[in-house]
Structure 1
C-alpha cells in the first residue's frame, strides 16, 4: 500500500542502511556482512567523531551531567559547559555572542525567522540548504532565488529592492555541501553593505576546514553579516549547532525564538565533545588548510583521469554522473572495491545532475586516492 501511495521510480527511492564502526576511524562495516568499507561519504572532515580526546570528554560529561539535559535552556537545561562553549566559540569566531541549538536545521529556522517577517524579501542562492528554505516558509517572507554564487545576479536583484520598506535578507553558505563550491563572501558582504541588506551565512560545512585556522569564510567580516550558523556534526565530530552574532540580535533570539526556547537543551555529552573538538582545532590550526591542499591533488588526479574537475577548493568533491541509475551503479562498483561514496540524486541536486559525493577526511590512509582511481578506471 505504501508503494502505491508514494509512487517513486526505483532509481530515486531512498532506503535506510545501517553501519557498524570499522576497525579504523575511517572505516564502516555493513552489518549484513564482514566487508570493511573506507568512508568517503560522511562529513567527519577532521576525523574527530572517534578521536580519543573527544570521546573521553563526552563520556566524562555523561557520567557527571547525564545523557540528556532534562529541560530547555530557560528552565533547567543550561549547564556551565553550555556557557563555556558559547563563550569559547564567540571568542574564536570574533562574534559578540553565541547560542547553542540541538540541530543545524533548528538553528537555521531560528536564524531566518529572527531576520525576516512576511514583508521581508529574502534572496537565497539557488542551491541553498532545505533548512533555510523551511525557515523562510516559517517566517512568511517573500522568496527570491539568485543564480548560484552569482554576484551580478544578486546585485541586480538588490537594486530592484532599493525602495523596499523592510531590510532585505541575503542567505548563502560558505561551502555548498553537494557542489563543493564557495561564494565570494567578501564581495557578497560588500554588495549587501552597499544596498543596505542583512547577510546570513550557513558555515555548517566550512567551520573547522575553511578560512584562517579553520574559523570559516566569515571570519574577519563584520557588518553586514547579521548571523553565522554553524554545526558540530561535521568537522567537530559531535552533534548540535549554534548561531553567532551581535549582542542585539542574539538577545532577540534568546527572548523571542521558539526554536531556542521550546526545546530541550543540547545534550551535555555533545556539548563536551564539541568543546574538546574546538580545543583540538585551535591547537592544530593547519588541519583545515592541509585538508584543502590534499583535496587539490585529488581534483587534479580525477581531472587527469578524464573526469570533469570537481569545483571548489574544500573537501567535498562531486563526481557528476547525470542519470540516477548511473550514479547508483557507480556507487555499487566503488563498494565492490571497498570504497563508500553515496549516490546523490534529485531532489537533493538539480535534475540530470546525479552524482557521487566524495568527501575527504584528514585521517584517510595513504593510498586512498590510488585505490579510488583504480576503481574508477576499472569501470
Structure 2
C-alpha cells in the first residue's frame, strides 16, 4: 500500500478541500477567502439552499430528529419516507419506489436484484464505478460494449442468445454520463433489450430533474426498463437515493436487498428536503428549459472560442484537455480568476482524456460565460 502511494504521480494525487457556500452559486475555502463561482457541483437547479428545502428539513428535524436511528425494517421507517416513495412513484409512473441512503448503495442493490452468478451483464464501457462493484458483488460475468454504441450492444446480445438462449441477461447504462455529458438513445436501447429478452437497469442520477419530459429523466414512459436508479444529491439538492420499478421487483428488494436491509434509513430531514424538491421541480418547468437552452449557448460559445465542443445536451460540459498536468494548470488558472471547475483525471476517466468538468447551474449569474471564456483564454 505504501509503495503504491509513493508511486502515485503528483498530477494523479487527490486531496480533500473543504469549501463552504459563499453567496449566490459560489463557494469559498474559508472565512476571508475570496468566493469562487461554482462551476463544479451537481446542484443543477440550485435547490440545495432553496428556502423551501431548508424549511422542510428543519421541520423534519423538529419532528423526527436528525437521524432515523435504525434500518427501515427495524425502527427507522418514518412517514416522510413513505410519502416520498409514493409521490416519487406517481411522478415517475412506476409502481414502487424504495429509498436508499446513497446512490452507491442503490446501484449495488439494483445489480444484485437483476443478476446472479449465472447471469451475463452487458454494460456501457463508461458506467459508474458503483455499478461495476455491483456486478462484481453479484458474481455475474461482465462484458462491456462501446460507449453509447447500441449496434455493438446488439451484436453482443445476439451472440449471447446464440450461445445460450435461456441465460439471464442484464444491460446497464446511464441516461446522462456524469463525466462525458452524453446520453444514449434510450428508446432504441429499450427496444433492443426487449428484442433479446434482456433486463435493463438505467441509472438516471444526473438526468432526473433536468432531462426528459418534465425532468422525469430519459427513461420516462419506457415500460421496458426494469429498474431506474436515481439520487437526490444532484438536481434535487438534498441527499440519498432510490430504486423505482414494478411492484414485484419492489417487494423482492424489500425482502432480499442487503443494501436496503442492513443500513440505517435515509435521514428524515434529507427525505423531507427531497420531497420539497420534487414538488418544486414540478413548478419550475420554465427554469429547467432555460437551463438546457443556456447549456447549448455555452457549448456554441466554447466551440467558437476554439475549444472542442462539449458533447451532449445537458448541463454537464466536459472540456477535453488530454494531459493530466495541463488540466490541473487550467483548474488553477480558473481559480485565480474566481471560478471553480475541477480537473477530472484517470482513473475516473480513461488515460489521455483528462478534462475540466464544467457544470451549469440554473442560478449562475449573468456574465458567467464571459468570465469563463476570458479565464480560459485560447486552447
Q: TM-score, normalised by structure 2?
A: 0.97
Q: Distance in 1 between matches of 2:4 and 2:231?
A: 37
* Alignment-derived partner of residue 191 in structure 2: 190
Is the counterpart of residue 245 in structure 1 residue 232 in structure 2? no
1:21 aligns with 2:39: no
Provide the rounded CA distance (Å) in 1 between the counterparts of 2:208 and 2:126. Answer: 19
Distance apart, 1:275 and its partner CA: 0.4
The within-5 A match list for 1:186-335 is 186-223=187-224, 225-335=225-335
Residue correspondences, number: 377
**1-side partners of 2:331 and 2:300: how far apart?**
21
Paired position in structure 1 for 2:152: 153
2-structure distance, mates of 1:66, 1:166:
47
Q: Which residue of 1 aligns with 2:177?
A: 176
Q: For 1:374, what is the secondary structure of its paired residue?
A: helix
What's the offset of the Cα at 1:280?
0.2
Root mean square deviation, CA, Å: 1.3
Q: C-alpha displacement at 1:288, in angstroms? A: 2.5
Report the Cα offset of residue 30 of structure 1: 1.3
| Structure-2 residue corresponding to 1:71 | 70
TM-superposed CA distance for 1:12, in Å, is 0.4
Is the aligned partner of 1:36 residue 2:35? yes
What SS does the aligned partner of 2:285 have?
A: coil
Match of 1:345 in 2: 345
Alpha-carbon distance in structure 1 between the residues aligned to 2:5 and 2:293: 48
* Equivalent pair of 1:124/1:172 in contact (CA under 8 Å): yes
Distance 1:235 1:68 in 2: 23
Report the CA distance shift for 1:186/1:331 in structure 2 as closer, same or farther (over 3 A): same
Cα offset, 1:283, TM superposition: 1.4
Structure 1 residue 289, shift from structure 2 partner: 2.4
Partner of 2:79: 80
Aligned twin of 1:105: 104
Residue 287 of structure 1 deviates from its aligned partner by: 3.0
Distance of 2:97 and 2:56 partners within structure 1: 21
Aligned to 1:165: 166
Deviations 1:122-143 (A, max 9, x none): 0000000000000000000000
CA distance, structure 2, for counterparts of residue 126 and residue 34 of structure 1: 40
Alpha-carbon offset, residue 6 of structure 1? 4.3
Q: For 2:148 and 2:298, how far apart are their aligned partners in 1?
A: 23
Alignment of 1:110-149 (within 5 A): 110-149=109-148
CA distance in 2, matches of 1:63, 1:128: 39
Segment of structure 1 superposing worse, 121-130 or 33-42: 33-42
Contact 1:281 1:287 in 2 (8 A): no
**Aligned counterpart, 1:7:** 7
CA distance in 2 between partners of 1:22 and 1:118 (Å):
49
- Structure 2 gaps of 5+ residues are none
Note the C-alpha offset of 1:282: 1.1
Distance 2:323 2:365 in 1: 31
Pick which of 251-260 and 160-169 moved more: 160-169
Q: Does 1:61 align with 2:60?
A: yes
8 Å contact kept, 2:118–2:168: no
SS in 2 for 1:160: helix
- Kindly indicate whether the alpha-carbon contact (under 8 Å) linking 1:210 and 1:289 is maintained by their aligned counterparts in 2: no
**Conserved? CA contact 2:306–2:378, under 8 Å:** no
SS at structure 2 position matched to 1:170: strand
In the TM superposition, residue 31 of structure 1 has moved relative to its aligned partner by: 1.8
Shift of 1:161: 1.1
Contact 1:213 1:286 in 2 (8 A): no
- 1:8 counterpart SS class: coil
Deviations 1:213-251 (A, max 9, x none): 10000001002x100000000000000000000011110
Extract structure 1 runs of 4+ deviating beyond 4 A: 1-6
Structure 1: where are the runs of 5+ without partners? Answer: none
